[in-house]
Structure 1
Amino acid sequence: MASAEKQQKRAKRAKFKAKQNRSGKSKVNVVHPVLANPLIDEPFDDVEIDLSTFDFKDIEENGFDPAHFDDLFQAMKVGEGISLLAMCLVFLQYPVLELVVAEESEDAATDFMMGLLITYRGIFHDEDEEAAVNWIGGESFQNAYNEASIILQKKNARATTPARG
């Protein structure tokens, strides 16, 4: 039997191929070239996330278990392998994050986002909290994050605007 890592790689390739086939090989009229990659555009489409069981109050009181966010962290790692912008795009499309941003106060949502990013940096870059916070506050991350936010706003505006014909 193949190792778990090999199975994971095969599953990702299969997912990528299936998505490519569904979308007719390439998307025309993409808001940004990095979104042409199906692992970056809508990266959680095939991931089952039950938002009804998500309890933000519990996370606020007790913190979160990084294992519950493994799908996010793995997708971010793939994105970061492409570019910092791709990683930010993946991060901002995470359904749980979208829910928190929509339903919680700005401060609570920011704290949650910071917690996720700090945990990600700790897992994949072996950084302590201070180093992760410095990275998040750095110009490279801030520029990529802001650009990703603008790209997704344009993409979402396009999705809700009826086509003219």
Structure 2
Amino acid sequence: MFVAPDGRKVTAAAEKAAIEETVDALGQGAQVAGVADPAEPRHPQIRAAFAPDTPLRGRYDHPVCAQEFLDGLWKIGGAGHQVGGHPYSVQDPVEIEVAQAVLDGQVSLDDPRLSDEAGGWSLLAQFDSEACADMMWGDAGALYWLIRPRDLAERRFDRAMFTWQCS
């Protein structure tokens, strides 16, 4: 989690540069499988629509990567609880986490199989932390259940995958 000093935005040039430097340094760790810039629009469906040939860690030139767009995303509040729709990920896209689990963690973020697998999952349900209901998942996190559309159509809920994230 990255936090800017009071009165400054994590998307400001100096903070963004510091975040990119940190992300690059973390990626050099001997036991690190992969890292991604937290501000990079890398949701599998966004990448498939705007930069289909770009690997998950690759950068691409498109308005969804523009600073104004990214600043706007930071202003959107959490999604809350929902059934279906698009997940509001606390960290990396939850579809990537599920895809990594399905592929036994044996693929890097650069492997096209990971992107293909991630694109095959849809949100079944999401439950966010909610203090008034005494539901706190980690540090203000969320629970996610994802399912392949084919399995949903066949009502094969036993094939759904679970993951959770917290800040």
User: Normalising by structure 2, what TM-score?
Assistant: 0.23
In terms of fraction of residues, the more strand-rich structure is: 2
- TM-score, scaled to structure 1: 0.23
